[in-house]
Amino acid sequence: MMWALSHRFDPRAAGLADRHYSRQKPGTPQFMPSGRAFVLYAEDDGHRAVWGTSWPEHARHEWEGAWLCSIFRNEGFPRSHKLIRQAVAATLWRYGEAPSLGMITFVKEDAVRPKRDPGFTFIMAGFRPIGRTRRHGHLVLQLLPKRMPKPVAPRGAQMELVL
- Is 82 part of any domain? yes
Give residues with Cβ within 8 angstroms of 106, minimum separation 6.
Answer: 133, 138, 139, 140, 141
* Distance (Å) of CA 61 to CA 15, 19, 41, 66, 89: 28, 25, 27, 10, 24
- Is 152 part of any domain? no
- pLDDT for the residue numbered 121: 92
Res 81 pLDDT > 80: yes
CATH number at residue 72: 3.40.630.30
Rounded to an integer, what distance in angstroms lies between the CA atom of residue 41 and that of residue 10? 9
- Is 142 part of any domain? yes
- pLDDT for the residue numbered 103: 97
- Is 156 part of any domain? no
End-to-end CA separation in angstroms for the chain? 28
Q: Residue 128 belongs to what domain range? A: 4-147
Res 2 pLDDT > 80: yes
- Is 138 part of any domain? yes
Q: pLDDT: is 133 or 25 the higher one?
A: 133
Rounded to an integer, what distance in angstroms lies between the CA atom of residue 63 and that of residue 41? 26
Residue-wise pLDDT for 30-80, tens only, equals: 878 888 899 999 999 889 999 999 987 766 667 888 999 999 999 988 899
Domain count of the fold of the chain = 1
Which of 28, 75, 27, 35 lies closest to 51, judged by CA?
75
- Is 80 part of any domain? yes
Residue-wise pLDDT for 85-139, tens only, equals: 999 999 999 999 999 999 999 987 665 555 667 788 999 999 999 998 877 778 9
The highest-confidence range among 17-21, 29-33, 138-142, by mean pLDDT, is 138-142
Helices and strands (H and E) in the chain: how many = 3, 7
- pLDDT for the residue numbered 21: 63
- Is 160 part of any domain? no
Confidence grade of residue 148 (pLDDT, cut at 50, 70, 90): very high
- Is 74 part of any domain? yes
